[in-house]
Homo-oligomer: A and B are copies of this chain.
Amino acid sequence: MDKFHLQILGSGSALPTKFCNQPSQVLSLREKSFMIDCGEGTQRQMRISNVRISRLNNVFVSHLHGDHCFGLIGLISTLGMFNRTVDLYIHAHSDAENILAPLIARFCEDLPYRVVFVPINPLKHELIYEDRSLEVYSIPLKHKMLTCGFLFSEKTKDRHIIREKVDFYKVPVREMQNIKKGLDFVTENGDVIPNACLTTAPTTPKRYAYCSDTVYTESIIPYIEGVDCLFHEATFLHADLTRAKATMHTTALQAATIAKKANVKRLIIGHYSARYEDLSPFLTEAQSVFDNTSLAMDGLAFEI
């Protein structure tokens, strides 16, 4: 069964601490890796966590605060040193190109690959990326600047072939793709073999949602309803709700409330403010509302 593999590279927020670097994650599925946000020092976090840099073709940037994008120029530069030739796609607000293009021109002479900027409209929920097995949608968030989260949604998968049955009915190889898609099989004699005799139901497609940075907003619930895993920022503890509102961030309690209301299967929280040395109260607080919560930590990986 295919799984999303989520590698946390940075679980902190604007001020990096000893244990929490600035935000970044890598979501992997079937040999492809997708980066979400890229704070300063992300390329080194990849090294430390043994994330293979060569499989990374798409970076999704939630918003253009420095802690979510200062690592991009270093990453782009380093990919060039590895003699990469494959295009790198940066999905971000259109300002990203205005900021990065001059830096690339200045620091990355003779870059052996292309950096392609794909503008996102963070105000809209829409399909922003698609390949054979995956779709990515933007999720409008509410923060101090235009910001969006991302929903990674696996496409419906093929039905599973029952090997003995297709052998028994002598299904020719050329028919197999149709059978996997759910079509019945018609024998040379004109007999119809229902698909249900030849296959079992496909694995349920997985969905992962990333929502950071944002103030508490139930407007995201329709987009993340029932996802297998939700990463939601929890910059503050609920005792600091006033500060959370003022800076347009969320508390651990609020993140868990969103998870519960959206009926998600699992919650991961992170983006902790540097003011907290002990992070265990984040878990206690969130679990008081939504039990299946985990704390993001630099270097931790989750199988979804």
The residues of B that contact A21 with a CB separation of less than 8 Å are: 44
The residues of B that contact A66 with a CB separation of less than 8 Å are: 73-74, 77, 107-108
Q: Contact at A81–B16, with CB atoms within 8 Å?
A: no
- Of the listed stretches A86-94, A98-106, A124-132, chain B binds A98-106
Q: Contact at A40–B74, with CB atoms within 8 Å?
A: yes
A71 beta carbon closer than 8 Å to chain B: yes
The residues of B that contact A18 with a CB separation of less than 8 Å are: 47-48
Q: Which of A40, A65, A77, A103 gathers the greatest number of chain B CB atoms within 10 Å?
A: A40
How many chain A residues touch B (Cβ–Cβ < 8 Å)? Answer: 28
Shortest Cβ distance from A44 into B: residue: B16
Q: Contact at A81–B14, with CB atoms within 8 Å?
A: yes
Min CB–CB distance A21 → chain B (angstroms): 6
Evaluate whether A15 and B81 lie within 8 angstroms (CB atoms) in the complex, with A40-B41, A73-B70 already known: yes
Evaluate whether A47 and B106 lie within 8 angstroms (CB atoms) in the complex, with A41-B41, A66-B77 already known: no
Shortest Cβ distance from A21 into B: residue: B44
A43 beta carbon closer than 8 Å to chain B: yes
Complex CA gap A15/B77 in Å reads 10
A287 beta carbon closer than 8 Å to chain B: no
Which listed residue, B43, B65, B103, B108, touches A40 by the CB 8 Å rule?
B43
**Contact code string A44-71 (vs B, CB < 8 Å = 1, else 0):** 1001100000000000000001100011
The residues of B that contact A15 with a CB separation of less than 8 Å are: 78, 81
* A-B residue pairs in contact (CB < 8 Å), sample of 30: A14-B78, A14-B81, A15-B78, A15-B81, A16-B43, A16-B44, A16-B47, A18-B47, A18-B48, A21-B44, A22-B74, A40-B40, A40-B43, A40-B70, A40-B71, A40-B74, A41-B41, A41-B44, A65-B107, A66-B73, A66-B74, A66-B77, A66-B107, A66-B108, A70-B73, A70-B74, A70-B77, A99-B103, A99-B106, A102-B102
The 6 closest A-B pairs by CB, nearest first: A41-B41, A16-B44, A40-B74, A66-B107, A70-B74, A66-B77
| 19 other A-B residue contacts (CB within 8 Å) besides A18-B47, A40-B74, A99-B103 | A15-B78, A15-B81, A16-B43, A16-B44, A16-B47, A17-B47, A18-B48, A21-B44, A40-B41, A40-B43, A40-B44, A40-B70, A40-B71, A41-B41, A41-B44, A65-B107, A66-B108, A99-B106, A102-B102
